[in-house]
Amino acid sequence: MDIRSLTAMLATAAAEGVATVSVDIFDTLLLRRCTAPDGVFEQTFLALFGAAAPAPAEHWVQHRQLAERAARRRAGEGRGSPEVTIEEIYAEFPFRLFGLERRDLDRLVAAEFEAELGLCHINPDVAALIAHLRAAGMATGFISDTYWSAARLQRLLHHCQPDLDWDFLLASCDHRRAKADGLFPIFLAARGIAPADAVHFGDNPRADVAGALAAGMRGLHYTLGSAALALVVQQEREAARLAMPGHADTRLDDGLSALRRRVSGTADRESAAALGAEVIGPLMLTFDHFVADAVERLEAAGGRVAVVFLARDGLLPLQVWRQMRRRPADYLEINRRLALVGSATSAEPLTAFFREIRAVDEAGLGTILKTNVSRVRSFFSSHPGGIASGTELVEALQQLWDEGDVPAGAATARDDVLRYFRRTIAAFDACTDLVLVDLGYAGSVQKAIRAMFDTAGIATRLHGVYLLSSDDKLEVIGGGDTAVGMISDRVVTPHAKRILLRNIAVLEQICSAPEGSIAGFDGERILREPDPRSQAQLALCREIRAGALDFVRFAAAAEEEAPFVGEAAIRRAAAILARLLLLPGSAEIALFDSVCHDVNMGTQIARPLVEPDLAARLCAGLALPLAFGAGDPPMWPAASMAALSRGHGHLYATASARGLPGSLFGDVKEGSLVVGLYTGAGEIPIEVSRFRMPTGEIRVRVPIDQRRGIAGVSVPLTAVAAAGELREVVVQSGAGVEAAMTSFEVTRLPDNHFDMSAFGGTRHYGPGGQGRLLVALPRLAGDILVLTLVIAPSAAASVAVLPLAATA
């Protein structure tokens, strides 16, 4: 229960005559400025050795954990109770490994206690509740399962809150009994009170609740933060290892995890608001401090600075800024298309832009470049549905536009944009430096604005401040202009950066304004493209943003700044982002199940963020290294893979973020078998290879020359595995075998294309069967078709390939 429910339950207990309340200490009254208790061990190591560390901190932490485990086992075997003192723990420690001697034991104990003093702080909600109970005349005190003696606990409590009072204080190590194993009866006897007259609360269900109930007391479970948040924080450490292998130790977090837990426990939130409060809020608040620092440095250098947040996904960063800062900032509705057109002096930059567009129609082209040339209309009318690919458009551009079309359209767009800038940014003509705040990534809008300014003779310096940056693309920014990313390639590895950008669509949707992107201007009126997103999707993202702003307000009221400032804070933010994008939980995947990403670069295309069916087809038709490297769609590949299975999700994240070679998680050839190809003239036997997939399944590929009139394929499934399940039947096509096998256009054949009647009509088959799977082939574009079967062998099934003579 949260603090409000706990307060109500204690009021009821008091009304029923309960006069004594005992309280757990760690993770109840005291919180630590680290993600888990082992952060104390890491801080101990850093204090002892500093830069002269004889080994990585992780080695010390794990040996400290092993020492405690050994001490408790020894105590349990010798005394019948695993409760130990800190001295007994360090007696099991490998001193010499770290250049220490046995006589250093007291020094190590003192160092760890100093680490506790530095990391522990009071939970203000529980402290206020205790003060309220004492004012009401109730006796209060503390009962803790700990290796710290009561004398040390007293010092620790008064260090954290000097005016804290209590009536009793018990430590399990002093009495060699834990709360779940007899410490509560010792407490009751010492106080001379009946069990019914006392209540205890704490965070551990077994020790604090079951232990109290076993002694006849009331036991209340106080929860600070959800179990889901605890798992998220744990997974962020794994994300840090993937994205920042040189800075993977994130235990010491300046109290960020404790603050997130407190925020989590202040209100009952739906999953969307909880995601905002526990994940997006900390990320955006760190970015806000990063932006503020960049602005302050420009002003300290004497610049007259104006700050603008770029639409559409600059909306949430702007809302955080306005909540945190008194300094004004503006919201600028400009996108890459509009900026690029306004800066163009030839068709060359536009052709580079169009190559990235998957599909475009005449209306979409009209919003990008103001043109209504009859040749353009004729071009689109010759394509199915009036939609062409960006590559097809580029190939035809020279014939579609006259030489003067681009400069004329660019001049009109540029004039509109500059007038809009002056209307929106109050100090536009007076400022020397304009800060452009955006999620990122390559500074395309900044570069285009620079070109417009140069053409118009505007000397204002531009400074891009981005959440995430493609640093190699920012190299060309020079002169007085600058560009910097909070999560740069100095923070995360380049491989990790690129896979973060590949999965960034979900963050863009969360941060974006609930309206269509700007298409142009009609005088002073902004023209927007239709927004293909549903009202339910917009409401979901609005709820997430509201949760994020709740966190920002809470953190500001708590005056917590350290978790959001400096390089360590940026690394924590990178871990938060990497975890969300690359290791989403099942609840988060379900939350975005119906959310689409509006590509907004041509036609009004909206693709689902999460597409497990597409991921399944890609993984069936392609070796995993290729499937993981597929371009969009899917728009959120990490979530799409994780929706298949946790294994697919973790392998995708690990392989992609670490840039693992495909040989480490590709298919392994295990043999061959003979299948039959059916033509009008009869059956043609051919030998094909069988591959073991990293998931344990077996893949069989059958290349087919469609020019030979082959209508079907027969496959002896028991030659693949003696028993198993037919998981997938897919086809790809291309000009050659290699092109077909690597095509991302993977089509799943419907059930009526294959016949399992020889195996009982189901996809499962048992050992001993002599029947064959019959597959009717579709006709696809391209000379070569590749049929792929994925079979999951039964656990006890043999997968030895039969001799060719036996399978022919």
Look up the pTM and report it: 0.89
Nearby residues of 530 by Cβ (< 8 Å), 6 or more positions away: 516, 604
Other CB atoms within 10 A of residue 29 CB: 26
Which residues are bridge partners to 598 per DSSP? 606
Average pLDDT, the chain: 89
pLDDT band per the 50, 70, 90 thresholds, residue 265: confident
In the block, residue with structure tokens 């059916």: 678
Q: In terms of C-beta distances under 8 Å and separation of at least 24 residues, what long-range contacts does 517-523 make, across chains too?
A: 517/311, 517/312, 517/335, 517/598, 517/600, 518/311, 518/333, 518/334, 518/335, 518/338, 519/338, 519/367, 520/338, 520/367, 520/370, 520/413, 520/416, 521/416, 521/419, 521/420
- The reported pLDDT for the residue numbered 340 is 78
The residue type found at 379 is F
For helices 3-15 and 124-135, angle between their N-to-C axes, nearest 10 degrees: 20
In this prediction, residues 310-314 reach a mean pLDDT of: 92
Q: Indicate whether 781 and 688 sit together in one domain.
A: yes
> Which range among 87-91, 238-242, 662-666 shows the weakest confidence by mean pLDDT?
662-666
Q: What is the pLDDT of residues 749-778, one digit of tens each?
A: 998 898 877 777 788 888 766 678 899 999
pLDDT band per the 50, 70, 90 thresholds, residue 575: very high
- The reported pLDDT for the residue numbered 396 is 75
Q: Indicate whether 787 and 801 sit together in one domain.
A: yes
Q: Indicate whether 735 and 693 sit together in one domain.
A: yes
**Residue predicted with more confidence, 377 or 798:** 377
Say how far apart CA 653 and CA 656 lie, in whole Å: 5
- The reported pLDDT for the residue numbered 680 is 79
Tokens of 416: 């509109």
Q: Indicate whether 109 and 155 sit together in one domain.
A: no
Tokens of 173: 């190590």
Q: What is the pLDDT of residues 519-541, one digit of tens each?
A: 888 888 988 888 889 999 999 99
H-run or E-run covering 346: none
CB 757 within 8 A of CB 773: no
Q: What is the pLDDT of residues 339-378, one digit of tens each?
A: 877 777 666 666 666 766 667 777 666 655 555 556 677 7
Residue 561 confidence (pLDDT) above 90? no
SS3 per residue for 229-283: HHHHHHHHHHHHHHHCHHHCCCCECCCHHHHHHHHHCCCCCCHHHHHHHHHHHHH
Report residue 480: phi and psi, to 5°: -90, -5
Q: What is the pLDDT of residues 32-60, one digit of tens each?
A: 999 889 999 999 999 999 888 888 888 99
Q: What is the pLDDT of residues 405-420, one digit of tens each?
A: 566 667 888 888 999 9
In this prediction, residues 211-217 reach a mean pLDDT of: 95
Say how far apart CA 464 and CA 434 lie, in whole Å: 9
Task: Decide if 359 is inside a domain.
Answer: yes
Q: Indicate whether 692 and 777 sit together in one domain.
A: yes
- The reported pLDDT for the residue numbered 331 is 95
Q: Indicate whether 693 and 763 sit together in one domain.
A: yes
Q: Indicate whether 47 and 186 sit together in one domain.
A: no
Tokens of 762: 């189901």
| Three-state DSSP class for residue 198 | strand
Indicate the residue among 221, 244, 262 that finishes a domain.
221
Q: What sign does the CA torsion over 302, 306, 310, 314 have?
A: positive
Residue 607 confidence (pLDDT) above 60? yes
Task: Decide if 111 is inside a domain.
Answer: yes
**Pairing outcome for strands 668-679 and 712-715:** antiparallel
Burial class (CB in 10 A: 0-12, 13-18, 19+), 412: middle
Q: What is the pLDDT of residues 449-478, one digit of tens each?
A: 999 999 999 999 999 999 999 999 999 998
Task: Decide if 260 is inside a domain.
Answer: no
Residue 807 confidence (pLDDT) above 50? no
Task: Decide if 411 is inside a domain.
Answer: no
CB 156 within 8 A of CB 30: yes
Residue 213, domain extent: 3-29+123-221
Indicate the residue among 160, 191, 221 that finishes a domain.
221
Q: What is the pLDDT of residues 414-439, one digit of tens each?
A: 888 999 999 999 889 999 999 999 99
Q: What is the pLDDT of residues 245-260, one digit of tens each?
A: 877 566 889 999 999 9
pLDDT band per the 50, 70, 90 thresholds, residue 736: very high
In this prediction, residues 276-304 reach a mean pLDDT of: 96
- The reported pLDDT for the residue numbered 374 is 66
Instruction: Determine the distance from the C-alpha atom of residue 188 to the mean position of all C-alpha atoms in its chain, rounded to a whole number.
Output: 48
Indicate the residue among 172, 202, 221 that finishes a domain.
221
- The reported pLDDT for the residue numbered 806 is 29
Other CB atoms within 10 A of residue 397 CB: 17
Total domains, the chain: 5
Q: Indicate whether 193 and 61 sit together in one domain.
A: no
CB 239 within 8 A of CB 578: yes
Residue 4 confidence (pLDDT) above 60? yes
- The reported pLDDT for the residue numbered 567 is 93
> Which range among 63-72, 157-166, 330-339 shows the weakest confidence by mean pLDDT?
330-339
Say how far apart CA 603 and CA 390 lie, in whole Å: 11
Residue 721 confidence (pLDDT) above 50? yes
For helices 444-456 and 336-343, angle between their N-to-C axes, nearest 10 degrees: 30
Nearby residues of 515 by Cβ (< 8 Å), 6 or more positions away: 312, 528, 531
| Total residue length of the chain | 808
In this prediction, residues 157-167 reach a mean pLDDT of: 96
Q: Indicate whether 11 and 24 sit together in one domain.
A: yes
Residue 68 confidence (pLDDT) above 80? yes
In this prediction, residues 289-318 reach a mean pLDDT of: 95
In the chain, % of residues over pLDDT 70: 91
**Residue predicted with more confidence, 192 or 366:** 192
In the chain, % of residues over pLDDT 90: 69
- The reported pLDDT for the residue numbered 642 is 96
Task: Decide if 731 is inside a domain.
Answer: yes
Task: Decide if 324 is inside a domain.
Answer: no
Best CA proximity match to 494, nearest among 196, 243, 308: 243
Q: Indicate whether 140 and 19 sit together in one domain.
A: yes
List the alpha helices (DSSP H) in 667-716: none
Q: Indicate whether 798 and 692 sit together in one domain.
A: yes
pLDDT band per the 50, 70, 90 thresholds, residue 615: very high
Residue 196 confidence (pLDDT) above 50? yes
Q: Indicate whether 737 and 782 sit together in one domain.
A: yes
Say whether the peptide bond before residue 56 is cis (omega within 30 degrees of 0): no
Task: Decide if 286 is inside a domain.
Answer: no
In this prediction, residues 311-333 reach a mean pLDDT of: 94
Task: Decide if 13 is inside a domain.
Answer: yes
The domain that contains 8 carries what CATH number? Answer: 3.40.50.1000
Residue 399 confidence (pLDDT) above 80? no
Q: What is the dihedral of CA 609, 610, 614, 618, to 10 degrees?
A: 100
